[in-house]
Amino acid sequence: MSSTPLKVAVTGAAGQIGYSLLFRLASGALGDRPVELRLLEITPALKALEGVVMELDDCAFPTLAGVEIGDDAEKVFDGVNLALLVGARPRGPGMERGDLLEANGAIFTAQGKALNKVAADDVRIGVTGNPANTNALIALSNAPDIPTDRFSALTRLDHNRAISQLAAKTGAPVTDITRMTIWGNHSATQYPDLFHAEVGGRNAAEVVGDQRWLEDDFIPTVAKRGAAIIEARGSSSAASAASATIDAARDWLFGSAKDDWVSMAVLSDGSYGVPEGIVSSFPVTTKDGDWEIVQGLEIDDFSRGRIDASTAELSEERATVTELGLI
Binding residues for substrate: 91, 97, 130, 161
Our finding on whether 238 is near ligand NAD (CB under 6 A) is yes
Cβ 248 to ligand LMR shortest distance, Å = 13
User: Are residues 237 and 229 in contact, defined by beta-carbon separation less than 8 angstroms?
Assistant: yes
The percent of the chain in helix, strand and coil, each rounded to the nearest 5, is 45, 20, 35
Residue 321 touches which of ligand NAD, ligand LMR, none (Cβ within 5-8 Å per kind): none
Compose the 202-241 pattern: x for residues touching ligand LMR by CB under 6 A, - for all others. ------------------------xx-x------xx---x
Asked if 196 is an active-site residue, the reply is no
- Alpha-carbon gap, residue 187 to 190, rounded angstroms: 6
Residues 7-26 that bind ligand NAD (CB under 6 A): 11-12, 14-18
The only residue of 11, 104, 111, 130 in contact with ligand LMR, by rule CB under 6 A:
130
Other Cβ atoms closer than 10 A to 115: 28
Cβ 119 to ligand LMR shortest distance, Å = 25
Contact window for ligand LMR (CB under 6 A) among 57-65, 89-97, 256-264, 304-312: 89-97
Cβ 131 to ligand LMR shortest distance, Å = 9
Residues 139-178 that bind ligand LMR (CB under 6 A): 157
Our finding on whether 90 is near ligand NAD (CB under 6 A) is yes
Residue 229 touches which of ligand NAD, ligand LMR, none (Cβ within 5-8 Å per kind): ligand LMR
Residues 241-280 that bind ligand LMR (CB under 6 A): 241
Other Cβ atoms closer than 10 A to 69: 19
Our finding on whether 128 is near ligand NAD (CB under 6 A) is yes
Catalytic residue (one of 169, 186, 306, 318): 186
Q: How does DSSP assign 72-98, residue by residue?
A: -HHHHTTT-SEEEE--SPPP-TT--GG
Cβ 29 to ligand LMR shortest distance, Å = 19
CA-CA-CA-CA torsion sign (78, 264, 270, 183):
negative
User: Are residues 100 and 132 in contact, defined by beta-carbon separation less than 8 angstroms?
Assistant: no
Cβ 277 to ligand NAD shortest distance, Å = 20
Exposure of 70 by Cβ count < 10 A (0-12 exposed, 13-18 middle, 19+ buried)? middle
Question: Which one, 157 or 166, has the nearer CB to ligand NAD?
Answer: 157
User: Are residues 126 and 84 in contact, defined by beta-carbon separation less than 8 angstroms?
Assistant: yes
Those residues whose C-beta lies under 8 Å from the C-beta of residue 21, and which sit 6 or more positions away, are 10, 84, 86, 242, 245, 246
Residues 15-44 that bind ligand LMR (CB under 6 A): none
- 139-171 burial, b at 16+ Cβ within 10 Å, e below that, comes to bbbbbeebeeebbbbbbbbbbbbbbbbbbebbe
Tell me which residue has its CB nearest to ligand LMR: 226
Q: Where on the phi/psi map is residue 288: left (φ > 0), alpha (ψ -120 to 50), or beta?
A: left
Residue 192, preceding peptide bond in cis (omega within 30° of 0): no
Binding residues, as ranges, are: 12-18, 91, 97, 104, 111, 128-130, 161
Binding site for ligand LMR (CB under 6 A): 90-91, 97, 130, 157, 226-227, 229, 236-237, 241
Tell me the catalytic residues: 186
